Structures are given as structure tokens and as C-alpha cells.
Structure 1
Amino acid sequence: MFERSVSGPEKLAFDDPVAELHVRIVNGTVNVVGTDEGPARLEVSEVEGPPLVVTQRDGVLTVAYEDLPWKGFLKWLDRKGWRRSAVVSLAVPAHTRVEVGVVGAGAVVSGVKGPSVVKGVTGDATLVALSGPVRADTVSGNVEAQSVTGDLRFNSVSGDLTVVDGSGSTVRADSVSGSMIVDLAPDGPTDIRLTSVSGEIAIRLPDPADAEVEANTASGAVSNAFDGLRVHGQWGA
């Protein structure tokens, strides 16, 4: 069992194995990198307001505020608690399970092969070269996924989703008003299901493509740029 309160710049290395990483911060930035060598490492370069609490227990490394629980995270809107900020960087074994929660902060997760879960209230997230299953839930934060090869699931109220060079076998995305741009380079069968109430949806596939597409809209237009694909049906223009 390891526990430390961090109120200023500090670097820590963890000799004990790390199987799970939990990070929850408000404002600032969090950067998580999966590596194939060395122990887990933490660098806190800036802390304003309440200290961050760093704990390691039974293979779980946690960097978070004591008053910011993971359960019900997306409903955390304590304005008084927003008077805080932290800049945190972590390097963990590539197969670590990663959970990152941000409120008003930017998050970057890269090189992780284990499952990744990202929750954001107003913070944006960038996901790079993740090969494990990925789940991203936001209220208004945007998510950009680059070269993600694992299954991707995204849920948001008004946040946008951008997928670049995606090659996972499954993409599931739901949003109320957020837009979705999904640029895929699949290396095998891929199942894509995108749903939005008022946001725009764009899917880009390699040409030629072997694809079956079903698109439904109540009031928006449907268009395509594939010569062999025709738009028909009574819904949509």
C-alpha cells in the first residue's frame, strides 16, 4: 500500500506491478502513455488548489482528488471545486487497464493495449494507437481517435467524435447533437452503427469498398460519393 498527497511538482516511480490506472482531474491536462519497458512513472508538473492523492494498492494506481469519485463522474458539477488545476503525465505498462476522468481538462491516451475508458464533462480527449477496447463517454467534450484498432464505443450529449485511420471491428456511437466524422481503413470486417438526433454524420471508406450501408434520417439529407451506391427510400432527401 502506497499513498502520497501531491501539492506541487513531483516525480514518482512505482516498482510494484501496475495492472490498472485510475486518473480523475479537474482542469489542466492528463497524458497517459503505454510503454513496453520500465516501471510505471508519474510526473506532476503543476498543481493548483487541493492536492492530488496518489495511491497504489493491489495493482491499482490512482491519481485523483478525494472528492471526485468515479461513480456518477459525469454528473459532477460542483462549481466551487473547479478552482483547481493539475498537469499530470503517466507512463504505464502497455497492457494496463486505463480509466481517465476529466472535468474541463484535456486528456491524451496513447499506446495502450489494455481496455481504456475515458469520461469527460467538458474536457476534450485524444486517443492515439489504442489496440484494446475503448469506451468514451462525454457530456460536451469532443473525442478524437487516431489509429485506434480496438473496438470503439462513444456516447455524448453534444460532444463531437472524429475517427482517423480507424481499423477496429466495431464502432458504436450515440450523440444528441454532436457531429461524427469516421474515417476508416479497415483490415477486416467492420460493423459501424452511428446515431445522432441533430448532429451530422460522415463516414469515409476506402474506394473500392465492400460495404452494406443503411442510413435513416427524419429531416436531414443523405448523400454518397460511391458510384455503385444509390440512395433510395421515403425518408430523407
Structure 2
Amino acid sequence: MPDRSQWSLAAPQKLTFEEPVTALAVRVVGGTVNVVGTDSGPAGLELSEIEGAPLVVSLREGVLTVAYDDLPWKNILKWFDRDEWKRSVTITLTVPTATRVETGVVGASAVVSGIAGPTEVRGVTGDVTLVGVRGDVRAESVSGRLEAQALGGDLRFNSVSGDLTLIEGTGGRVKAETVNGDMTIDLAGTARTPDLALTTVSGEVAIRLPQPVDADVEANTTSGPVSCAFENLRVGGQWGAKRITGTLGSGGGKLKITTVSGAVALLRRPPSPEDDAPASGKVL
């Protein structure tokens, strides 16, 4: 009798899982992965395109795994120049919002939206998009970009040459390290006390801060240019090195930037309609 907790998918098809899903593990090569959180209905899978080796799906003790058996999660970032990359899938996974998500992609793009559980993403050359993810996020890439919007938790990002773009960040802690990837951080008007620690060698860093904002600022570049839209911050340095230091508002938040040759820009975020509403607290 076949094991109905495991499936081998070699052609497009849909699956619905009646057993509860609490964790999702995805490892694919080529194509596109969409992970969508939902508050209604059972978890589901829709495989719309597949090329190459079959995809193995299993559901055991609440863990839904969608992967190639020969693609290990632990060493996925070391997969280079392999003939067996001649694979591709287009797959959509619908899971409960509280699901813990692990997604590994090699030469594939991934989109994760509406997830409230912890999310971990690893990619070699594929780009990753996160939308409305409310749990903490850990992302690692070799050269793939990470684009995120309206994250609700902490973000930790490590990459060699991948860019990081965060739009409407709501105030979770952001710790990012790259070699030559650029970083663009836009904080929402509610992010009054940011906690940002950004490090790069040659990538450019641009941060747009809401008004008002309470943060202690320290930005350093060895040879890159700097620009600052806040008159009460100090811009100084000698020879090629430059620093931006000081306190915005009453302090308490943290903004630390370190780069060797990359440019640094601190920008003001235009006020949103919500910012015009009466509010207590110190205003710059």
C-alpha cells in the first residue's frame, strides 16, 4: 500500500493536506516558489510547471517538505556549476500564517507573504521577496537580492554581493552584512526608535528615517562620500575617512553603519497622512 504521507511529483498537479501543517521546508532548483500564509482552509500545493527530476513532497508530524533529495539545506549555498541544475519548478504553497518557513533556492526566485511564524531563506543566485511577513526573518544569499516590504519582526541578512531593499520597515531590529551589496532601508512612520546595524565593504548604504525619530547615530566610511539631511548630526572626518554622528530626538534607538568604500546617505522620510494626526512626544 503506498505511503500517502509522501508524493513524487513529475507533472503539474494540486495537493490538499488535511493534516495540520506547522512547519514548511522548501528546497528547489530553478523556477519560482510562492509561499502564502492564510487563516482559512487546509494547507495546499499547486505545481504548475516542472522540468527535470521529480519533486519529492512529504508531510510528517506537521512538517511539510517540498524538495529534491540531493539538495541539502545545510550546504545549499555551496551548490555551484552542477549539471543537475537543469531543473525548474513553478510552485505555490498555501500554509497557515503561523507556520515556520524554511526556503532554499538555487537559481530560483522566491516570494513569501502573509507569514507570522519565523522565516529563514537561503539562496545562491535567486532573488527573494518578502511581503507582510510578521515573524523574525533570517536570510542568506550569495548574489541574490532580498526585497522586503512591511516586515513586522527582526531581520538578519548576510550576503556576498546581494542587495537588500527594505520598504516600510516597522521598527524591528535589522542586522545586515554584505561584501559589495547595496542596502536601502526605508522605515515606516511608526518606527520611532530604530535598531539598525549595517556593515558592508564596498556597497552603498541609504537610509530614510521617519519624522520624528529617536536614535543615536554612528556612520563611518573609509573612502566613500556621505550625505546627511539632518542638520543636528555632525559630519566630519579627515583624509578620506568620514563620519556622521549625533543624536536624533531623545535617542534610545540605534543607527550604526560601517563601510569601507561605499557611499552613505541619511535621508528624511516624507510625512505620511498618519504623521499629521496629533501625537505626544518630542518632535524634531
Provide the TM-score with structure 2 as the length reference.
0.81
One of 7, 24, 27 as aligned partner of 1:24: 27
Look up the match of 2:166.
Answer: 163
Structure 1's consecutive aligned runs of 4 or more residues displaced over 6 angstroms after TM superposition are none
Equivalent in 175, 197, 219 of residue 215 of structure 1:
219
**Greater mean alpha carbon deviation, residues 118-127 or residues 165-174:** 165-174
Q: Which deviates the most, 181-190 or 90-99?
A: 181-190
Q: 2:65 aligns with which of 41, 54, 62?
A: 62
Query: Structure 1, residues 181-216: CA drift from partner, whole Å, max 9, x if none?
Result: 000114453210000000000110013332221011
Aligned to 2:228: 224
Per the alignment, residue 93 of structure 2 pairs with: 90
Secondary structure of 2:65 counterpart: strand
Q: Which structure: larger Rg?
A: 2
Structure 2: which amino acid aligns with 1:130? V
Tell me the amino acid that sits aligned with residue 242 of structure 2: G
Structure 2 counterpart of 1:200, which letter?
E
Q: 1:190 aligns with which of 190, 194, 208?
A: 194
Which residue of the other structure, out of 2, 7, 12, is the alignment partner of 1:9?
12
Amino acid at match of 1:8: A
Residues of 2 paired with 1:187 and 1:197: CA distance? Answer: 27
1:152 aligns with 2:158: no
* Cα deviation code 1:143-202 (max 9, x no counterpart): 001010110010000000000000132000000000000001144532100000000001
Q: Identify the residue that residue 265 of structure 2 maps to in structure 1.
A: none
Gaps of 5+ in 1: none
For the 8 Å contact 1:42–1:91, the answer to whether it is kept is yes
CA distance in 1, matches of 2:225, 2:191: 30
Contact kept, 8 Å, 2:179 with 2:203, in 1: the verdict is yes
Aligned-pair identity in percent equals: 62
Query: 1:228 Cα shift?
Result: 2.0
Displacement after TM superposition at 1:78 (Å): 4.7
Q: Aligned partners of 1:89 and 1:78: how far apart in 2?
A: 27
User: RMSD of the TM alignment (CA)?
Assistant: 1.3
Give a deviation string over 1:68-97, Cα, whole Å, max 9, x none: 010111011252111110001010000000
> Which sits farther off after the overlay, 96-105 or 186-195?
186-195
Equivalent position SS for 2:242: coil
1:74 aligns to what SS in structure 2?
A: helix
Matched, 1:79 2:62: no
SS at match of 1:216: strand
Asked if structure 2 preserves the Cα contact closer than 8 Å seen for 1:152 and 1:168, the reply is: no
1:236 and 2:214 aligned: no
Consecutive unaligned residues in structure 2, runs of 5 or more: 244-284
Q: Counterpart of 2:257? A: none
Q: How many residues align?
A: 237
Q: Is the CA contact (8 Å cut-off) linking 2:193 and 2:214 kept in structure 1?
A: no
Larger deviation, residues 1-10 vs 129-138: 1-10
User: Is residue 199 of structure 1 aligned with residue 203 of structure 2?
Assistant: yes
Q: CA deviation at 1:222?
A: 1.9
2:192–2:213 Cα contact (<8 Å) kept: no
Secondary structure in 2 matching 1:27: strand
Q: Which amino acid aligns with 2:228?
A: N
| Equivalent-residue separation in structure 2 for 1:143 and 1:68 (angstroms) | 21
